[in-house]
Amino acid sequence: MGYAPVLEITRGGLPESLHFGAVAVADAAGRLLASWGDPETATFLRSSAKPFQALAVLESGAADRFGFTPEQVALMCASHSGTDAHAEGVAGMLAAIGLGEADLLCGTHSPLDAAVARRLEAAGMHPGPLRHNCSGKHAGMLALSKFLKQKPQGYLSQDGPVQQRILHAFAEMCAVKPDQVGLGTDGCSAPNFSVPLRSAASAYARIMDPAGLPKKRAAACARIRAAMTAHPELVGGPGRFDTRLMQACEGRVLSKGGAEGYQAFGLPAGELGPGSSACGVAIKISDGDRSGRAVSAVGLAVLSQLGIRHDELMRLRDLAPPRPVENNRGELVGGMRACFHLERTE
């Protein structure tokens, strides 16, 4: 795997730590526009795959059958924070399907929203599956299962009709064959996919510019794009990177992160200058970025180098490099800075 330095952490003016990563920027035709490291590095998208998993639900007709709103479409694509609004939105999806929280097979974890987690703990309440960040995705999969007249208990089976539809939709959006997609199991127990960064970037470009896709798929892409960018607070949550970025860019840029240091963006035609094509960006931080410090800094550096408006990125300057490193007394002791420059291919 071809990873290269992307973020340097200094202390006292001296290098202390270094994150490696790879970046691919591609258009809807699959052309590589820019990169850093090896853009053919194959890795799992993790939650960055959610818009494509939701795609199969929309184009099947299941979302319309059960009357899903744009807000609920956004929840299907979300890694949400487990707030009351998130949990209630997913509960509404399940009610429309005729199922309940017990049918969600995503497991449980503490809500990503710290205030909600503290409130539940203080009340002695254990968070159920509705608070899981992937519950909206699972509700969408259950809707597809019900639409296909399948037993809900089998909706996560890789060989079953629900996951096969999702796999084929994902592969087609990435312009690869289904048997070329690497398969694994996500933290929420759903199948997850590995493809080269360039393929994932081009898939995000196709969400932003689906003109070359079949009519039904193009319409589904447009609905996903509109839902996510109109309701960024549902895609992530208060203070979360995807939410803040889509709010800062006023709905033009689509942003979806994934676990283990994965981040994807979709940029519309004209965003990078007059006449520029729609494009997608896929980023992987090689060490998984468990600290959470690298992926947002590298993502913002990529967008800045591509030419996203400076005033919009300045709204996220607390996340963008260069950033200070402070000690426990709030004293400045070092910094973080991007250490790469995208290589343009056109």
**Contacting residues for 33 by C-beta, under 8 A, at least 6 apart:** 25, 26, 27, 279, 344, 345, 346
**Is residue 80 a contact partner of residue 63, using CB atoms and an 8 Å limit?**
no
Phi, psi of 168 (to 5 degrees): -65, -40
pLDDT at residue 1 in the model:
56
Residues of the chain with pLDDT > 90, as a percent, come to: 94
Instruction: Tell me the residue length of the chain.
Output: 346
- Give the number of other Cβ atoms within 10 Å of residue 331's Cβ: 9
Q: What DSSP letter does each residue of 21-74 carry, written as one string?
A: EEEEEEETT--EEEEES-TT-EEE-GGGGHHHHHHHHHHHTHHHHTT--HHHHH
pLDDT at 142 over 90: yes
Confidence of residue 81 (pLDDT cuts 50, 70, 90): very high
Amino acid at 231: H
Residue 151 class from Cβ within 10 Å (0-12 exposed, 13-18 middle, 19+ buried)? exposed
Distances (CA, A) of 122 to 161, 174, 240, 329: 42, 45, 23, 29
Helix (H, G, I), strand (E, B) or coil at 109: coil
Tell me: the pLDDT tens digits for 286-297? Answer: 999 998 899 999
| b/e code 86-99 from CB counts within 10 Å (16+ = b) | bbebbebbbebbeb
**Is residue 81 a contact partner of residue 111, using CB atoms and an 8 Å limit?**
yes
CA 141 – CA 62 distance, rounded (Å): 9
Residue 36 class from Cβ within 10 Å (0-12 exposed, 13-18 middle, 19+ buried)? buried
pLDDT at residue 49 in the model:
98
Sort strands 279-285 and 323-326 into parallel, antiparallel or unpaired.
unpaired
Confidence of residue 311 (pLDDT cuts 50, 70, 90): confident
pLDDT at 309 over 90: no
Q: Is the dihedral of CA 71, 254, 166, 212 positive or negative?
A: positive
Q: What's the pTM?
A: 0.96
- Rounded to the nearest integer, the mean pLDDT of the chain is 96
Q: Which two tokens stand for residue 65?
A: 């059958």
Tell me: the pLDDT tens digits for 169-208? Answer: 999 999 999 999 999 999 999 999 999 999 999 999 999 9
pLDDT at 22 over 90: yes
pLDDT at residue 340 in the model:
97
> How is domain 4-344 classified at the CATH fold level?
Beta-lactamase (3.40.710)
pLDDT at residue 321 in the model:
87
Tell me: the pLDDT tens digits for 220-274? Answer: 999 999 999 999 999 999 999 999 999 999 999 999 999 999 999 999 999 999 9
pLDDT at 84 over 80: yes
pLDDT at residue 312 in the model:
86
pLDDT at residue 346 in the model:
64
